């Protein structure tokens, strides 16, 4: 199998962790070139520690982990402790100090170096705020035409952090604007589709039957994530937002996509961080995003199940 090269840019985060686990599973067609971390769900240092712990757990030894931006481009940092807990990955009992260490290079520089030295074949997979990706584009614009694609989790036609804005985009809308206006092909997995990937109690029960250490770890993650989503949003379970990006890269047939124009609101009094999706083509602007709007739930959970089983 020819593997597709990806850089996972993330803020783990329960669903980021599950995205990494799926990407590194034996059924995956992805070659993880690097994992870069960004301030998002919690402070970047905690997100880095979590990424390293996840790598330890799944035995991902040869993939460099590099810490990235500690705050958004313009506004104050904002975190989501009420969703992911104080550590950013509350739930499973994890060793405090991971064996794996982050490399001594800034995440933004890792993205730049990897893309510059590539054959234009690296896909970026951001599942946190877009700060690192925007900074990389600003610091070294030569990378822009060399990025194969950006497959991201963020945005939607409604919000979860404000009525209009989804968390990842809201945290750094200025960065999102840079990325969405860059001209790089974007596939966007926003709330419209990620809210169709809900790990209900029945699904968690089915996954519990897999019974290997990685599946058990995922179950612990899902139990905590489930409690916060039920409490904060009144959902039947947590949406596994970030894993939709990886699921798409492994099997695009799980999703239905529209090619549309998406602009990022950075000035609105009530709508800062909104992804303005031009479904009815009212702007006359060229489409810049492949927008996922429908998920085949059976296929999605089948893929997840096979991914977790592959660790047995």
- Residues with catalytic function: 241
Q: Is 85 in the site for Ca ion (CB under 5 A)?
A: no
Which one of residues 128, 129, 159, 273 is an interface residue with Ca ion (CB under 5 A)? 128
Closest-CA residue to 277 (of 261, 295, 266): 261
- Of 225 and 311, nearer to ligand BDR (C-beta) is 225
Name the strand (E) or helix (H) holding 257: strand 255-260
Q: How far is the CB of 144 from ligand BDR (least distance, A)?
A: 23
Name the strand (E) or helix (H) holding 112: helix 107-116
Q: By rule CB under 5 A, what count of residues binds Ca ion? A: 6
Contacts of 6 by beta carbon, 8 Å cutoff, 6+ apart: 23, 30, 31, 32, 33, 122, 123, 124, 125, 249
Beta bridge pairs of residue 188: 152, 291
- Of 25 and 160, nearer to ligand BDR (C-beta) is 160
Of these partners, ligand BDR, Ca ion, none, which one is at the site of residue 160 (CB under 5 to 8 Å by kind)? Answer: ligand BDR
Q: Which residues contact ligand BDR by CB under 6 A? A: 13, 15-16, 41, 80, 83, 127-128, 153, 160, 166-168, 241-242
Q: If DSSP codes are grouped into helix, strand and coil, which group holds residue 261?
A: coil
Q: How far is the CB of 16 from ligand BDR (least distance, A)?
A: 5
The per-residue DSSP string of 115-173 comes to HHTS-S-EEEEE-S-SHHHHHHHHH-GGGGGGEEEEEEE---SS-SSSSS--HHHHHTH
- Of 89 and 94, nearer to ligand BDR (C-beta) is 89
Give the contact letters, 13-52, x = binds to Ca ion (CB under 5 A), - = no.
x--x------------------------------------
- Of 76 and 209, nearer to ligand BDR (C-beta) is 76
229-to-193, 218, 233 alpha-carbon distances in Å? 17, 16, 5
Q: What is the footprint of Ca ion within residues 211-250 (CB under 5 A)?
A: 242
- Of 243 and 295, nearer to Ca ion (C-beta) is 243
Q: Which stretch binds Ca ion (CB under 5 A): 5-13, 203-211, 251-259, 279-287?
A: 5-13
- 122 CA to centre of own chain: 16
Please return the burial class of 267, using the count of CB atoms within 10 Å of its CB with bins 0-12, 13-18 and 19+: exposed
Which one of residues 36, 123, 127, 228 is an interface residue with Ca ion (CB under 5 A)? 127
Kindly list the residues in this chain that would bind Ca ion in the complex (CB under 5 A): 11, 13, 16, 127-128, 242
């Amino acid at each position: 199998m020819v593997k597709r090269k990806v850089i996972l840019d993330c803020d783990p985060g329960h669903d980021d962790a599950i995205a990494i686990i799926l990407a590194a599973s034996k059924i995956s067609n992805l070659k993880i070139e690097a994992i870069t971390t960004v301030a998002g769900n919690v402070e970047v240092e905690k997100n880095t520690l979590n990424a390293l712990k996840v790598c330890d757990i799944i035995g991902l030894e040869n993939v460099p982990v590099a810490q990235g931006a500690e705050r958004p481009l313009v506004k104050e940092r904002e975190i989501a402790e009420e969703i992911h807990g104080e550590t950013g990955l509350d739930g499973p009992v994890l060793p405090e100090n991971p064996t794996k260490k982050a490399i001594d290079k800034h995440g933004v520089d890792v993205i730049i170096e990897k893309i510059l030295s590539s054959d234009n074949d690296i896909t970026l997979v951001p599942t946190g705020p877009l700060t690192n990706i925007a900074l990389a584009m600003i610091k070294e614009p030569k990378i822009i035409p060399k990025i194969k694609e950006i497959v991201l989790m963020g945005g939607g036609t409604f919000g979860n952090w404000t009525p209009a804005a989804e968390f990842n985009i809201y945290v750094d809308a200025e960065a999102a604007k840079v990325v969405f206006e860059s001209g790089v092909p974007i596939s966007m997995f926003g709330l419209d589709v990620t809210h169709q990937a809900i790990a209900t109690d029945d699904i968690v029960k089915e996954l519990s039957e897999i019974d290997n250490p990685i599946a058990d770890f995922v179950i612990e993650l899902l139990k905590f994530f489930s409690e916060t989503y039920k409490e904060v949003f009144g959902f039947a379970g947590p949406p596994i937002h970030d894993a939709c990006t990886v699921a798409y890269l492994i099997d695009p047939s799980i999703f239905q996509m529209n090619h549309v124009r998406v602009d990022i609101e950075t000035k609105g009094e009530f709508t800062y961080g909104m992804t303005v999706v031009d479904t009815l083509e009212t702007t006359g602007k060229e489409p810049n995003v492949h927008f996922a709007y429908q998920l085949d739930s059976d296929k999605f959970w089948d893929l997840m199940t096979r991914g977790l089983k592959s660790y047995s």
